[in-house]
Structure 1
Amino acid sequence: MSDPNFYQHEENQFRNWAAGEPNNEFGIEICGKMVKDGFWNDVPCSQTLNAVCFNVSGTTPGFYYTSSKMTWTQAQSYCRKHHTDLASVRHMSDNQVIKNLITEQVWIGLYRDSWKWVDGRNSSYRYWNTGEPNNQKWKEECAAANFGNAGKWEDWSCGGNKAFICYSAPRSQQVIKLKLVFSSSLAWDNSAVLKDLLKKLKQKLKDDGVKGDINLSWRKHLDGKVFQKQRKKDEL
């Protein structure tokens, strides 16, 4: 479980590995299971096992055994739909509660994941195809979506040539009406003056904490001018 408020000091570091584990055999064992003696092994996520889910209320979890065999990803989806998540084990007391529930090996919520999004976002969502990632010959370190198989993911060598998908952040546009006071000697519709004003406005937005790509432009009136001079009351 990724919520840091669920864990007390260093509870997210608790491990109860069996002797010689984790060994990441063949480079494909990235999901964690608990065997009936309460110790943990790392195994391929494509194995089908029962699972233990949990519900969280404050810092107190309730653990629930599931009797349907699923892959780790399927078990995670099931637990998130019907409970909070796959079981996180914070200490030996949690470990003992789960051990008392099971009579065979089960999935728990621990997984090793060196996969990261290029924009640095932290997301636990995965859509791997069955048997993936398999890191064949220890050279498959990039991911591709196989749209011939519902878009499920496969790991591939980063040196291969494939089609690709780009994305851009959604843009927002806002029109703001400004009322400015100019010096009488200033040519307020001069292109250089208008350009300098945009530059200063952009810097002001950045100073105020506006992030991202800021593009400013002037909207012209029907007469082609940016500003309309407002007459003083004594001129009316």
Structure 2
Amino acid sequence: MDQLMETVSSAGYKSGFWIGLYIEINWRWSDGFSGSFTGNSYETSVNPSNCLSDQICMIVYWHSEHHHWSDSNCSSVFPFVCYNGTQQNPDYVFVNERMNWSSAQRYCRHNFTDLATLRNETDWTKLYSVTPIEQNVWIGLYIDTNISWSDGSNFSFSQKPTSSSLQPGVTTARCGYQYRPNTNDWYLYPCEYRYPFVCCGLPKVSRRVKLRLKVENSDLLSDAAVKEKLLEKLQEKLEENGVSGVKLKWKQTTDGKVFNREKKKKTEL
């Protein structure tokens, strides 16, 4: 993090930018319904304390006659809504017993059809008619999440990302955003947004190797085509010996020369 911030600061940039954090969001309904919700856009934000979980369970709540989606840790306990009948024509039943999401799911499947599925505005209205005002209730919606870095490595860090609003059944991914003045939080924004970004890569390491050549005509070594051909042959030789990721180039001296005639050592008598 220190190196990242130093890189951005040295560029004179003071706002936010993309980082390689990426979260896949897979919406699921308990009864297997795979269609998307139709109607007004009811949005939810993922709480940072839940965002790193493999599974996030959803509640709905009523406030001032408005209904909302929200996320919660699946181990939290709330009343819940089951349904009888079919997905196409459900009859909702409010169960005023506090259970975690999995227990509520088992209860609904044992006594009714399943936890409530909401397909459209009509379903919302029917659910609203059986649910108390100002009451959080479990429904059958949950999210499978997979957080990773752009290079495929697993997510492992003390900071917890906070997602912007998610639309159930529609949002499928969020991308990582870092606000430079705040190093304590990461944010997950729609990947279609446009921001500057920071790339990373392995540091370049250069190594100088002296090469001794024996030629009958030293003038050939001043020919650019000959020097290029020599590099190609040396590169092929490295690859034959299992050395990859190395780029060879000639090192020029201050006078522009690559090869210099080796001085003969004096022979002592």
- TM-score bracket relative to the smaller structure: 0.3 to 0.5
Q: Which has the higher contact order (CA 8 A, sep 6+)?
A: 2
Q: Point out the structure with the larger strand share.
A: 2
Higher Rg: 2
Query: What is the TM-score of this pair, normalised by structure 2?
Result: 0.40
